[in-house]
Structure 1
Amino acid sequence: MSNPEQRADYDSPWKEAISLYFPDFLKFFFPEVYQGIDWSKDYTFLDKEFQQIIRQTETGRRDADKLVKVWLKNGRELWILIHIEVQSQVQISFPERIYIYNSRIYDVHRCPVLSLAVLADEQESWRPDNYSYGFLGGRLTLEFPIAKLLDYSTETLEASSNPFAVIVLAHRETQASAKDPNRRYREKLRIAKSLYQRGYERADILELFRLIDWMMSLPEQFQSGFQREIVRFEEESKMPYITSIERFAREEGLQQGIEQGLQQGVLQKGREAILEVLEVRFSSVSETLVELLNQVQEKAILSSLLRQSITVESLDTFEGMVREQFSA
């Protein structure tokens, strides 16, 4: 039996969760920052600008980092650089990396930058919150707020209706069950069922279920049992939000199809799977969207788009998601 930790994906679900629930992210982890933002004005994700910064540095890939433009209540523009650090051990270079990104963004765009760090590791004592160096009477210091996932008690997470309480629970249980698929199965099922008890709307239940399912990956034999149990739970609760037996069968078959097609190097199989989901949900798909999907050439992007196609609210929203892949 394969170790589920080998297939656990932390970065991608975190990144997407921030994109979906950015105000909730700040409200949960950095309430003082949240209070200082004028939420009557739109915020903008600056993925293209951030990718340019990454390409110009040598700090390596950091999928969960996000750059967002917001407006403060005093009318000032601010760029917020968010770092999600998932390392399970001390990373001496982490504060330096934050400084490099922060200074490069300011250097290129001449805009104030606030760096925030979420430490998702399992080492209690590791809490870097500044980068500093000095010599000959001079000193440079960058201080940045941090949030440590270990600081949030299970009781607090269970009682909170903030979507990131669910994300943190899923993250920590994924770590704790690294070598125990039975535990991961039980906890994934418990967290998924709890979505119905937190007062979420149907759309949020669908999104959070998808993120949990993505992060808390299970060996195939456990995943099949998990899906059957969710179907039974929904039937008993008379809340068919997530799926039905037919939808699970369709999704499972499509996922297998896209994986087989991509493994064979036939990207068209993946595109056809996505289009089939969209046609089942929305009856028809525009030629423009078909052409956009034909331009996607990466397995990871197609897999992500397949997941999104299952819960996305409209074709226009999905088309925007596809277009974002070419602006990064």
Structure 2
Amino acid sequence: MKNEPSPHPERLERLERLERLERLESADPPASLAPKTDTYDSPWKEAIEHHFPEFLLFYFPQVHALVDWQHAPVFLNQELQATARDAQSGKRYVDKLVRVMAQSGQALCLYIHLEIQGARQRIFPERMFVYHYRIFDRYRAPVVSLAVLADRSAAWQPRHFGYAYAGCSLRLDFPVAKLLDWQDRQAELQAHDNPFALVTLAHLLTQATRRNLPARLQAKWHLVQLLYRKGWTRQQVLDMLHVLDMLHV
């Protein structure tokens, strides 16, 4: 892929403004009349759907290896909404339910949870369990529950839910990819070809400069230069900046 010329530093803000204007112009109804949606999580939803194999390969390589990629994944968005009867509008997380075929020939349901909200959630492990059993109850097929955490607490590492009482016990363990765990591996992220490595790098840079606007702008500019060097198009760069803006509203 031929590299496009990098924009000058002073054009970075202009590019972001242009991208926002383009989105506003393409909207059908005025914002005041449009129904409220989870605008901040939609870029992540699109990224996962458009680059699902890369998503699994980067964050959950052991799950990626189980999937027979000759069979296209099927996203069960409407089915997940029906399963999650208590889903709230305005939530700060992304949920995906994907049906895939395993290498063994067994159909699997992959439940993917991306926690966007920066604060730790006390009920998060319980929510993972509730969704897990609801999906199993609906499909009677193996369910693989996966979580990506974008919070800022290194000490918060929820990986299971369970209880035991009067001889009865229950436990769900689920794989977790925590973006903060890549904090000291940013050089590795920069050299990685997987687009989600760059999403993770961008998230960490934006998170580290959340209280320093000039530093954040400079970090974004360095990221833009990196993306152009890797052959990203102007639209791909703008999409990345949009993901960052939506993640850190």
Settle same-fold status: TM greater than 0.5: yes
Q: Structure 1 residues 23, 122: closer, same or farther in 2, change over 3 A? A: same
Indicate the residue corresponding to 2:207 in structure 1: 175
Amino acid at match of 1:57: D
Is 1:155 aligned to residue 187 of structure 2?
Answer: yes
The residue type paired with residue 176 of structure 2 is I
Q: Which residue identity does 1:72 align to in structure 2?
A: A
Partner in structure 2 of residue 224 of structure 1: none
Q: What is the letter of the counterpart of residue 158 of structure 2?
A: P
- Please report how far the alpha carbon of residue 143 of structure 1 lies from its aligned counterpart in structure 2 after TM superposition: 0.7
Report the Cα offset of residue 78 of structure 1.
0.4
Which residue number in structure 1 is paired with residue 196 of structure 2?
A: 164
Q: Work out whether 1:215 is the aligned partner of 2:247.
A: no
Identical aligned residues as a percent: 41
Report the secondary structure of 1:75's partner residue: coil
Q: Is the 8 A contact 2:129 2:172 kept in 1?
A: yes
Q: TM-score, normalised by structure 2?
A: 0.76
1:169 and 1:72 map into 2 onto residues whose CA distance is 30
Unaligned runs of 5+ in 2: 1-38
Partner residue of 2:99?
69
- In structure 1, what is the Cα distance between the partners aligned to 2:187 and 2:241? 22
Q: Contact 1:88/1:122 (CA < 8 Å) preserved in 2?
A: yes
Indicate if the aligned counterparts of 1:188 and 1:216 stay in contact, CA closer than 8 A: no
Q: Which amino acid aligns with 1:82?
A: I
CA distance in 1, matches of 2:83, 2:223: 37
Match for residue 193 of structure 1? 225
Shift of 1:109: 2.1
Match of 2:134 in 1: 104
**Runs of 4+ residues over 4 Å off in structure 1:** none
Secondary structure of 1:82's aligned partner: strand
Superposed CA RMSD in Å reads 2.0
1:28 maps to which of 58, 62, 79: 58
Query: CA, structure 1 residues 50+58, in 2 after alignment: closer, same or farther (shift >3 Å)?
Result: closer
Q: Is 1:123 matched up with 2:153?
A: yes
> Quick check: which one's helix share is greater?
1
**Corresponding letter in the other structure for 2:235:** L
Amino acid at match of 2:129: Y
Structure number with higher strand proportion: 2
- The answer on whether the counterparts of 2:92 and 2:117 sit within 8 Å (CA) in structure 1 is no
C-alpha separation between the residues in 2 aligned to 1:46 and 1:64?
A: 14
Q: Deviations over 1:214-240 (max 9, x none)?
A: 13349xxxxxxxxxxxxxxxxxxxxxx
Residue of structure 2 equivalent to 1:45: 75
2: CA distance, partners of 1:74 / 1:57: 34
With 130-139 and 178-187 compared, the bigger mean Cα shift is at 178-187
Deviation at 1:199, TM superposition (A): 4.9
CA shift at 1:59, angstroms? Answer: 6.7
Match for 2:165 among 128, 132, 135?
135
Q: CA deviation at 1:163?
A: 0.3
What SS class does the counterpart of residue 164 from structure 1 fall into?
helix
Tell me the distance in 1 between the aligned counterparts of 2:92 and 2:105.
Answer: 31
Q: What per-residue deviation string (whole Å, max 9, x for no partner) do you get for residues 85-123 of structure 1?
A: 133333110000011111111112222210001111111
Distance 1:213 1:196 in 2: 13
Residues paired across the two proteins, number: 205
**Structure 1 gaps, min length 5:** 1-8, 219-328
Which of 1 and 2 has greater Rg?
Answer: 1
Question: What TM-score does the superposition give when structure 1 sets the normalisation length?
Answer: 0.59
- Residue 28 of structure 1 aligns with an amino acid whose one-letter code is F
CA distance in 2 between partners of 1:117 and 1:68 (Å) = 14
- The SS at the match of 1:36 is coil
Higher normalized contact order (CA 8 Å, seq sep 6+, divided by chain length): 2
CA contact (8 A) 2:93 2:113 kept: no
Distance apart, 1:179 and its partner CA: 2.3
**CA deviation string 1:258-311 (max 9, x = no partner):** xxxxxxxxxxxxxxxxxxxxxxxxxxxxxxxxxxxxxxxxxxxxxxxxxxxxxx
Provide the C-alpha distance between the structure 2 equivalents of 1:21 and 1:176, rounded to a whole number of angstroms.
Answer: 26
By how many angstroms is 1:62 displaced? 5.2
Residues 149 and 177 of structure 2 are in contact (CA less than 8 Å); yes or no, is this contact kept in structure 1?
A: yes
